[in-house]
Amino acid sequence: MINDLARRGRSHRTIKKYIRDKGSAFLPEAQFRFMNDEGKQFPGLKIKDTRTKQYVDLSKFGSQQEFARFIESSTDYLILEDSGWELNLPFKNKRELMTSIQLLLRKSGKYLYDREGNIIKETTKEKRRRRPWPDAYVLPVLLLGEKALRYAHELPEFIPATKISLEENNNEISFIIHKKLEFLRALRQYESLKKLGFKETVCLANKPFIVYYVDKERKV
């Protein structure tokens, strides 16, 4: 990833300066991979059984197919925890913004989805030609700030969304919401979040991320 960005004019040192570690928790999906192409389990990936409060032993799964079957049969009570990174990359001008956006979208699976976020069926040859970064999913690509929002009409792959976040001592708790924003605002508990300092920030987010991870209806 760093090399791809560097080839588009950003230095390795600059890119690394804007990368920070980030943990996440979310409902697992059957297509989520727990091992890489070499069969090694991803470090930092954990799945908790909310009934027992214990973590699932991922070493018992010998293949991605076994893992997927387990997830499909157990989604009502599993929480996936993962440690990864976040890249907060500023831009100087429109050209720099658009160049970075196209790279991030392409390498995180842009060409596997249409502009509405629906999966496109491709031939094996097309998949090889458009291969994303190794083990990449639909990376959340968020555009924040008035300058980025100014170009919304030129970014058909993005949709307006809202980031809810709390920042303290250089740490952040945040989540993205779209269709359920008004429902969230109507909850009594949301007032408690606001009193704690959580704030709303309008942003643009890539459509596949919104479709598959934010707006998707799930059993809970």
Question: In the prediction, which pLDDT does 184 show?
Answer: 95
Mean residue pLDDT across the chain: 83
Question: In the prediction, which pLDDT does 166 show?
Answer: 95
Residue showing tokens 């799930």: 218
DSSP sequence for 159-219: EEEEEEEEEETTEEEEEEESTTHHHHHHSHHHHHHHHHT-EEEEEEEEHHHIIIIIS----
Which of these, 136, 147, 175, 144, lies nearest to 160 by C-alpha position? 144
CA 156/CA 38 separation, integer angstroms: 36
Sign of CA dihedral 210, 157, 88, 90: negative
CA 151/CA 146 separation, integer angstroms: 9
Whether the Cβ atoms of residue 35 and residue 41 lie closer than 8 Å to each other: yes
Judge whether residue 55 has pLDDT over 80: yes
Question: In the prediction, which pLDDT does 178 show?
Answer: 96
Report the amino acid identity of residue 148.
A
Question: In the prediction, which pLDDT does 109 show?
Answer: 60
CA 51/CA 78 separation, integer angstroms: 9
Stated length of the chain: 220
Question: In the prediction, which pLDDT does 11 show?
Answer: 85
Q: What is the pTM of this model?
A: 0.77
3-state helix, strand, coil in the chain (%, to 5): 35, 25, 40
Question: In the prediction, which pLDDT does 174 show?
Answer: 92
Q: Cα 8–11–16 angle (5° rounding)? A: 115
